[in-house]
Structures are given as C-alpha cells and as structure tokens.
C-alpha cells in the first residue's frame, strides 16, 4: 500500500522557526514517528533526529554542561527528539538550548502530554506550538482509496479503527492481534509512565468500564463504587486517560435555559478499534447490538480529527433536555453553532423542538450512511 501523507505534515513544516519549539502529541502507534521523520527529511538544513528512549540520547542529556550541549549541536539547524517525555527534566533542558544555541529549531514528540507540557516552564510556553497526531482520518485515507473502496471499508473502520498499522494489515485476525497488543502491553506501558503499577491496573479497569458505557451518561460515583475508589480519584484517572489521547469527554452544551441538562458528560474513544479491543468484541456489524454506538463514536472521532488536523479550534459538546430531547454533537467556534445528529439507518430526523426554540438559527444536519462522507472528508 502506498504512503499516506499526514495532513499535519505541511502545517508543522511551516511552523518551524529559529528559537521556537514544536510539540507533537498523540497516542502510541498513531504515526508520530513516521510523521516526524517526514518533516525532518523535508527540512532544508542540517538536522539531528534523536529518540528519547535510546540510551545514547539519555546519556547526552544527563550531562547538563554547556560544552556538552554546544558540542553535539554544532552546525545543527533542526533538533528533533521522538518520545521526548522519557528524558528527565526535558522541559528545562530544551529551554536552556533555546536560550543558548542561536537560531536552533526544535521539535519534540511524545505519546503523553504530561512531561512535555508540565516540565517545559512558563518561559517555554511562549515559544511553542502544539499539534495532535491522531490515527488516520478518512480524509487522509482518501488519498489511497476510491469512493467505492471507502464505502466497502466502512464496516472495518467501525470495528478495527484507523490506526496506521491496522489500516495496512489485510488479515482481520492479524488486525485483532495488533489491537490487543496495543491495549495490552503498549497502552499499559503508557499508563506506567504516569501512575504506579497498582494504579495503572485500576486505570485499565476504568477504561473497560468506559468502553462498556460509551456514549451514555456516566456516573463518577458509580464508577468509584465499581473501582472501590473515590470520585476525585476517578476524575483524576479520567483526566490522565484523556491526556494520553485514549478517550475524550463531551460536556453538555447549555445556554443556561431551564430545560437544558448541564452537569453531565459523555465519554468517547479516539479510535473504535481500541474500544472494541477493551470490550473484546470484533464481531461483524450484522450480529452486534452496539452498532449505533460504534457509528457515533466513529463520526465524532472523525470530526475531532478534522479539528486537530486543520487547527480549527472548535469545542465539542452534546445537548439534551430533561425530557430527553437530544443532539449528538454540537460544535462551537467563532462561527455560529453547528449541530449534528448521527443515524446508522437511513431515516431522517427533524431538529428537536426544544433545540429549535432555544437555538433557532443553528444549522442542523442529520448524518447517515448515504451522506457521512460529506461531513468527514
């Protein structure tokens, strides 16, 4: 299969400037390393690409002496470090390099935003731009697919997701094995970078609970009882899992109208394949009871990918009233609100009466299998 160019590649390249640092985040195996290499290869100038997990790289940064840093950066125009979060105190060290090495350009990538963001220091914030790398979007996959092929692959996208390696694997059994590996060894490894072994086990169990209740109102108190943890601890775990780019939360949109639900949230996965691996279900759609949920998760994740890839700066919500009128996705930006309802079947549905009364000028669209590509490509 031919190479798929990531939408972010050109955007990142255009942001490379002297004495600036670019931060690239994304889940493990989402394609950050390949993207970083492409950006580095296309850069006109002397480059140095390091891996934060390599012993040699760690040794270089252990020696925090001026002469040491200046020596390995002689003649380097662009310094790129993959998995940079594994380097202790990476933020302060990068800040020093920016301050001391004239005209250096820096790109850091990591599967966790914790160390890169939390350790970088306030002074570094002003000198950075951030990008999120997701699994392949359908817009990216359209580079190598015809319209007919895309429609043929829809069921596979709902079941196996769009991680790069999954897309390139033809055999469904191998796809399943790969996804089980990600949700086992690799995901657990990421959890260990932010929590102890004991708490990482709790976080994995929390992920399974979320996967079983995806797209529904989730009670933090109930999750706490199931995990035998406090509500505050559950909230902490959910925040960590969000920053590892595994799940994301949709809050309830409200204009403070008395009919509107305001204090609940729904959780979705960035990738269907990860969700299905956590619940252990890769059955075909024809015998599944959760097709509507898979459809919503897929479309919401695709809208999120577009937001990240195009740097649109949108905020995402769902909407509901106390009498159960609901809209699946409400997008807020500098433009007017945009509301989407997702139907797996081809039936149409009208805008909920209360939503129309409260937001009469909002554009409302129903997305089904006939028109879904109009909203994700």
**Mean pLDDT (the chain, rounded):** 89
pLDDT of amino acid 267: 95
Task: Name the β-bridge partners of 79.
Answer: 48, 106
pLDDT of amino acid 126: 59
pLDDT of amino acid 369: 94
* Over residues 310-330, mean pLDDT: 93
pLDDT of amino acid 108: 93
pTM for this prediction: 0.92
Distance, in Å, from the CA atom of 68 to the CA atom of 8, rounded to the nearest integer, reads: 33
Distance, in Å, from the CA atom of 58 to the CA atom of 52, rounded to the nearest integer, reads: 7
Distance, in Å, from the CA atom of 68 to the CA atom of 83, rounded to the nearest integer, reads: 21
Percent of all residues in the chain with a pLDDT value above 70, rounded to a whole number: 92
pLDDT of amino acid 119: 52
358-370 pLDDT per residue, tens: 999 999 999 999 9
* Over residues 273-280, mean pLDDT: 96
pLDDT of amino acid 112: 64
Residue 348: is its pLDDT beyond 90? no
Task: Name the β-bridge partners of 110.
Answer: 25
CA-CA-CA-CA torsion for 306, 309, 312, 317, nearest 10 degrees? 40
pLDDT of amino acid 98: 87
Pull the structure tokens for residue 151: 């429609």
218-239 pLDDT per residue, tens: 888 899 999 999 999 999 889 8
201-224 pLDDT per residue, tens: 888 899 999 999 999 988 888 999
Residue 97: is its pLDDT beyond 70? yes
Q: Which residue has the higher pLDDT, 11 or 62?
A: 11
* H or E element at residue 48: strand 47-51
Q: Which residue has the higher pLDDT, 181 or 39?
A: 39
Give the sheet arrangement for strand 265-269, strand by strand.
265-269, 247-252, 315-320, 326-332, 338-342, 363-367
pLDDT of amino acid 88: 83
pLDDT of amino acid 317: 96
29-72 pLDDT per residue, tens: 899 999 999 999 999 999 999 999 898 888 888 866 666 667 88
Long-range contacts formed by 306-312: CB under 8 A, 24+ apart: 306/137, 306/139, 306/376, 308/8, 308/131, 308/132, 308/134, 309/6, 309/7, 309/8, 309/11, 309/134, 309/137, 309/139, 309/140, 310/7, 311/11, 311/131
335-346 pLDDT per residue, tens: 789 999 999 986
Residue 117: is its pLDDT beyond 60? no
pLDDT of amino acid 202: 86
* Over residues 7-26, mean pLDDT: 94
pLDDT of amino acid 264: 84
Residue 124: is its pLDDT beyond 70? no
Could you give the 3-state DSSP secondary structure of residue 193?
A: coil
């Amino acid at each position: 299969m031919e190479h798929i160019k990531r939408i972010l590649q050109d955007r990142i390249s255009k942001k490379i400037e002297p004495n600036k640092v670019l931060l690239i985040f994304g889940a493990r195996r989402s394609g950050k390393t390949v993207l970083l290499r492409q950006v580095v290869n296309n850069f006109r100038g002397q480059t140095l690409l390091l891996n934060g997990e390599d012993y040699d790289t760690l040794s270089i940064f252990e020696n925090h002496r001026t002469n040491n840093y200046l020596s390995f950066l002689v003649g380097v125009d662009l310094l790129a470090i993959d998995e940079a979060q594994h380097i202790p105190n990476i933020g302060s060290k990068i800040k020093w390099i920016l301050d001391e090495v004239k005209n250096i350009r820096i790109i850091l990538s990591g599967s966790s935003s914790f160390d890169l963001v939390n350790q970088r220091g306030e002074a570094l914030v002003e000198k950075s731009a951030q990008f999120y790398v997701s699994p392949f979007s359908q817009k990216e996959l359209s580079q190598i697919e015809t319209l007919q092929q895309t429609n043929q692959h829809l069921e596979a996208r709902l079941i196996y997701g769009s991680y790069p390696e999954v897309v390139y694997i033809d055999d469904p059994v191998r796809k399943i094995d790969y996804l089980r590996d990600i949700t086992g060894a690799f995901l657990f490894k990421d959890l260990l970078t932010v929590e102890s072994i004991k708490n990482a086990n709790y976080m994995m169990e929390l992920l399974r609970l979320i996967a079983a209740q995806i797209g529904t109102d989730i009670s933090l108190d109930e999750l706490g009882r199931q995990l035998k943890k406090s509500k505050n601890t559950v909230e902490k775990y959910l925040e960590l899992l969000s920053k590892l780019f595994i799940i994301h939360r949709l809050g309830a949109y409200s204009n403070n109208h008395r009919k509107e639900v305001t204090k609940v949230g729904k959780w979705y996965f960035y990738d269907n394949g990860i969700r299905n691996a956590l619940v252990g279900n890769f059955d075909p759609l024809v015998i599944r009871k959760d097709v509507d949920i898979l459809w919503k998760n897929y479309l919401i994740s695709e809208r999120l990918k577009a937001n990240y890839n195009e740097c649109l700066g949108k905020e995402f919500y769902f909407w509901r009233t106390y009498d159960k009128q609901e809209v699946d996705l409400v997008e807020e930006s500098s433009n007017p609100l945009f509301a989407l309802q997702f139907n797996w079947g081809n039936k149409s549905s009208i805008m909920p009466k209360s939503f129309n009364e409260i937001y009469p000028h909002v554009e409302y669209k129903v997305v089904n299998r006939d028109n879904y590509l109009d909203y994700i490509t």
